[in-house]
Amino acid sequence: MSEQVASVRHQLLQARKQVLKELGHLHECMQVEIDLEPDEGDEEIVELDRNAVITAILNRRLQAIDAALHLIDEGRYGVCARCGQPILQERLLAQPDATLCVQCQREIERLERYRQPVRQVEW
Ligand SMILES: [Zn+2]
Protein backbone atom coordinates (compact mmCIF):
# COMPACT_ATOMS: atom_id res chain seq x y z
CA MET A 1 0.00 0.00 0.00
CA SER A 2 1.51 3.33 -1.02
CA GLU A 3 1.92 6.14 1.49
CA GLN A 4 -0.75 8.18 -0.23
CA VAL A 5 -3.28 5.36 -0.11
CA ALA A 6 -2.42 4.69 3.52
CA SER A 7 -3.09 8.32 4.38
CA VAL A 8 -6.37 8.28 2.43
CA ARG A 9 -7.34 5.14 4.31
CA HIS A 10 -6.60 6.89 7.58
CA GLN A 11 -8.68 9.91 6.49
CA LEU A 12 -11.57 7.66 5.51
CA LEU A 13 -11.47 5.84 8.83
CA GLN A 14 -11.54 9.17 10.67
CA ALA A 15 -14.45 10.37 8.52
CA ARG A 16 -16.25 7.09 9.17
CA LYS A 17 -15.87 7.51 12.92
CA GLN A 18 -17.23 11.04 12.67
CA VAL A 19 -20.23 9.95 10.59
CA LEU A 20 -21.01 7.13 13.05
CA LYS A 21 -20.80 9.57 15.94
CA GLU A 22 -23.21 11.98 14.23
CA LEU A 23 -25.57 9.14 13.40
CA GLY A 24 -25.52 7.99 17.01
CA HIS A 25 -26.23 11.51 18.19
CA LEU A 26 -29.12 11.95 15.73
CA HIS A 27 -30.51 8.63 16.81
CA GLU A 28 -30.53 9.78 20.44
CA CYS A 29 -32.23 13.07 19.47
CA MET A 30 -34.92 11.21 17.55
CA GLN A 31 -35.56 8.90 20.49
CA VAL A 32 -36.01 11.86 22.83
CA GLU A 33 -38.32 13.76 20.49
CA ILE A 34 -40.70 10.87 20.10
CA ASP A 35 -41.50 11.13 23.80
CA LEU A 36 -42.41 14.83 23.71
CA GLU A 37 -45.84 16.25 24.43
CA PRO A 38 -48.21 15.99 21.46
CA ASP A 39 -49.09 19.73 21.87
CA GLU A 40 -45.75 20.74 20.45
CA GLY A 41 -46.37 18.43 17.53
CA ASP A 42 -45.73 20.47 14.40
CA GLU A 43 -42.32 21.81 15.21
CA GLU A 44 -41.16 18.46 16.48
CA ILE A 45 -42.32 16.75 13.33
CA VAL A 46 -40.34 19.23 11.25
CA GLU A 47 -37.32 18.54 13.42
CA LEU A 48 -37.81 14.78 13.04
CA ASP A 49 -38.05 15.18 9.27
CA ARG A 50 -34.87 17.18 9.22
CA ASN A 51 -33.12 14.53 11.29
CA ALA A 52 -34.40 11.82 8.95
CA VAL A 53 -32.97 13.70 5.95
CA ILE A 54 -29.62 14.19 7.68
CA THR A 55 -29.61 10.51 8.69
CA ALA A 56 -30.19 9.51 5.06
CA ILE A 57 -27.34 11.77 3.89
CA LEU A 58 -25.00 10.40 6.57
CA ASN A 59 -25.92 6.82 5.71
CA ARG A 60 -25.13 7.50 2.06
CA ARG A 61 -21.82 9.00 3.04
CA LEU A 62 -21.09 5.98 5.22
CA GLN A 63 -21.77 3.69 2.26
CA ALA A 64 -19.43 5.71 0.04
CA ILE A 65 -16.70 5.60 2.69
CA ASP A 66 -17.14 1.85 3.17
CA ALA A 67 -17.01 1.28 -0.59
CA ALA A 68 -13.77 3.25 -0.84
CA LEU A 69 -12.25 1.39 2.13
CA HIS A 70 -13.24 -1.89 0.53
CA LEU A 71 -11.48 -0.89 -2.70
CA ILE A 72 -8.36 0.11 -0.76
CA ASP A 73 -8.30 -3.26 1.01
CA GLU A 74 -8.65 -5.03 -2.31
CA GLY A 75 -5.89 -2.93 -3.82
CA ARG A 76 -8.24 -1.41 -6.38
CA TYR A 77 -8.40 2.06 -4.92
CA GLY A 78 -8.01 4.92 -7.41
CA VAL A 79 -9.37 2.86 -10.28
CA CYS A 80 -12.77 3.69 -11.75
CA ALA A 81 -15.36 1.10 -10.70
CA ARG A 82 -17.12 1.49 -14.05
CA CYS A 83 -14.46 1.66 -16.77
CA GLY A 84 -11.32 0.53 -14.92
CA GLN A 85 -9.31 3.63 -15.84
CA PRO A 86 -7.22 5.32 -13.14
CA ILE A 87 -9.03 8.16 -11.38
CA LEU A 88 -7.22 11.51 -11.52
CA GLN A 89 -5.13 12.34 -8.48
CA GLU A 90 -6.75 15.78 -8.05
CA ARG A 91 -10.16 14.19 -8.03
CA LEU A 92 -9.17 11.74 -5.30
CA LEU A 93 -7.64 14.53 -3.24
CA ALA A 94 -10.85 16.56 -3.51
CA GLN A 95 -13.06 13.57 -2.87
CA PRO A 96 -11.23 10.64 -1.27
CA ASP A 97 -14.29 8.39 -1.47
CA ALA A 98 -14.72 8.82 -5.24
CA THR A 99 -15.10 5.43 -6.93
CA LEU A 100 -15.73 6.69 -10.47
CA CYS A 101 -13.57 8.68 -12.87
CA VAL A 102 -14.78 12.12 -13.95
CA GLN A 103 -16.08 10.86 -17.31
CA CYS A 104 -18.10 8.03 -15.78
CA GLN A 105 -19.42 10.28 -13.02
CA ARG A 106 -20.63 12.75 -15.68
CA GLU A 107 -22.09 10.00 -17.78
CA ILE A 108 -24.05 8.61 -14.84
CA GLU A 109 -25.29 12.05 -13.82
CA ARG A 110 -26.38 12.66 -17.41
CA LEU A 111 -28.23 9.34 -17.54
CA GLU A 112 -29.94 10.07 -14.23
CA ARG A 113 -31.02 13.48 -15.41
CA TYR A 114 -32.54 12.13 -18.60
CA ARG A 115 -34.09 9.07 -17.10
CA GLN A 116 -37.82 9.56 -17.48
CA PRO A 117 -40.09 8.18 -14.81
CA VAL A 118 -41.96 5.28 -16.35
CA ARG A 119 -45.62 5.97 -15.89
CA GLN A 120 -47.10 3.96 -18.72
CA VAL A 121 -49.84 1.63 -17.62
CA GLU A 122 -50.73 -1.23 -19.90
CA TRP A 123 -54.28 -2.40 -19.64
ZN1 LIG B 1 -14.61 5.56 -15.52
CA 47 / ligand 1 centre spacing (Å)? 39
Reading phi first (left if > 0) and then psi (alpha if -120 to 50, else beta), residue 84 is in: left
pLDDT tens digits, residue range 48-94?
788 889 999 999 999 999 999 998 998 888 899 899 999 998 898 88
- Note the pLDDT of residue 97: 86
- Note the pLDDT of residue 103: 94
Long-range Cβ pairs for the range 81-86 (8 Å, 24+):
82/107, 82/108
CA 105 / ligand 1 centre spacing (Å)? 7
pTM value is 0.69
Q: Which residues are registered as beta bridge partners of 86?
A: 79
CB atoms near residue 40 (< 10 Å): 11
Q: Which among 101, 69, 70 has a CA at the least distance from the CA of 85? A: 101
DSSP secondary structure letter of residue 77: T
pLDDT tens digits, residue range 11-44?
999 999 999 999 999 888 777 655 555 555 566 6
Give ion ligand 1 contacts, CB < 5 A: 80, 82-83, 101, 104
Which residue ranges form the domains of the chain, and what is each CATH number?
3-114 (1.20.120.910)
